[in-house]
Structure 1
Amino acid sequence: MNILITGASSGIGRQAALTYGKHKANIIALGRSQSALEMLDDDLTKYNCNVSLVPFNLMQFNLIKDMEQKLSERIDHLDVLFLNAAAFGSLTPITHITEAEWNETFAV
């Protein structure tokens, strides 16, 4: 089973990768932090599953097609797309958030 997990370098995405790894899924881990993805890879080695690390910031909209092309060269299909990436905006009451901050938070 091929599973692409966005936001896999931390939090819920990381835990999802570990859980699917226990079940021997082929994990495609996408996240912004190369070092955090490498730590995830180290933790997944004990499950003897296939892992592909894809350091990528989904806010780089102009590069998404290129990333899609590279992924399609590595895998022939996806069984699960676990969309977990998020941009964490400012810690302020919602009434004080600018339109630009709102758009950035939900653009991912």
Structure 2
Amino acid sequence: MARQLEGRVALVTGASRGIGYQLSKLLAAEGAHVIAVARTVGGLEDLDDEIKAAGGSATLVPLDLTDMAGIDRLGGAIHERWGKLDVLVANAGVLGILAPIGHIEAKTFEKTMNVNVTSTWRVIRSVDPLLRLSDAGRAIVLSSGAAHSCKAFWGLYAATKAAEEALVRSWANETVNTPLRVNSVNPGGTRTAMRAQALPGEDPATLPSPAEVAAKILPLAFPSLTETGRLFDVRKNRFLSYRDPE
């Protein structure tokens, strides 16, 4: 059976654990060369071992995404080596803190915005020209149901994810007449370290694994995808319109 991403290049941020780790493995299994970006070198090395053991290939990029100049250099390095980018998975993010808005310290607010919003914009800016050089560029930005539910004490995280979705929708509208397809993903509750941090009393056995969630996200990277500017809900396993009250 032909692999869907044979000969293509995919960039995944937050690739050292969770959904990013599992999605990197699946992209490689479909034939993509994975550029795996994360702060944690050990997690990247484990990922590289698994990808290679399965016959795939990866390039590891230990990078803190608060290093904005490093993000800019990454785009240049991808262009120099591969001349284009076919898939972007912007997965990296932090929870920040769950607290009343008036109790959030300025440094915590700024750091969370910097990681979740500013670095995502910087990655988009760095690779947008490369994705446009692909005959079927695909961009997947991980969001959260928090962007829409806006529950008490979740204001900081919700604001960052709402901002990310706004960037994605505008980007999709800017590129609607090109081969590039740009979408957000709400993964729903997943058995990750961030989820455990947010809801420590929750039974993780009641949640899907990162591998299960990644498997449903994977088709958004395929050249056959036609949707753009949409929100993919993993739990419903379908795209939602931003006008859809669900």
Q: Name the TM-score, length of structure 2 as normaliser.
A: 0.41
Q: Pick which of 8-17 and 43-52 moved more.
A: 43-52
Partners of 1:79 and 1:49 lie apart in 2 by 16
Q: Pick which of 1-10 and 16-25 moved more.
A: 16-25
Query: Deviation of residue 49 (structure 1)?
Result: 1.6
- Give yes or no for contact 2:9–2:86 (8 Å, CA) kept in 1: yes
Query: Deviation of residue 70 (structure 1)?
Result: 2.3
1:51 matches 2:33 = no
1:89-104 matched pairs, under 5 angstroms? 89-90=96-97, 92-95=98-101, 96-104=103-111
1:1-108 matched pairs, under 5 angstroms? 1-90=8-97, 92-95=98-101, 96-108=103-115
CA shift digits 1:53-78 (9 cap, x unpaired): 11101101133222322232222111
Query: Deviation of residue 31 (structure 1)?
Result: 0.6
RMSD, aligned CA: 1.6
* Change in 2 beyond 3 A, CA 1:69/1:15: same
Partners of 2:95 and 2:48 lie apart in 1 by 24
- Give yes or no for contact 1:87–1:106 (8 Å, CA) kept in 2: no
Higher relative contact order (CA 8 A, sep 6+): 1
SS state at 1:89 partner: coil
Q: Number of aligned pairs?
A: 107
Q: Name which one, 1 or 2, has greater alpha-carbon Rg.
A: 2
Instruction: Tell me the residue number matched to 2:200.
Output: none
Q: Name the TM-score, length of structure 1 as normaliser.
A: 0.86
- Give yes or no for contact 1:87–1:104 (8 Å, CA) kept in 2: no
CA shift digits 1:13-54 (9 cap, x unpaired): 101101112212111101111111011001111321221111
Query: Deviation of residue 107 (structure 1)?
Result: 1.6
Partners of 1:79 and 1:67 lie apart in 2 by 15
SS state at 1:27 partner: strand
- Give the letter aligned to residue 110 of structure 2: N
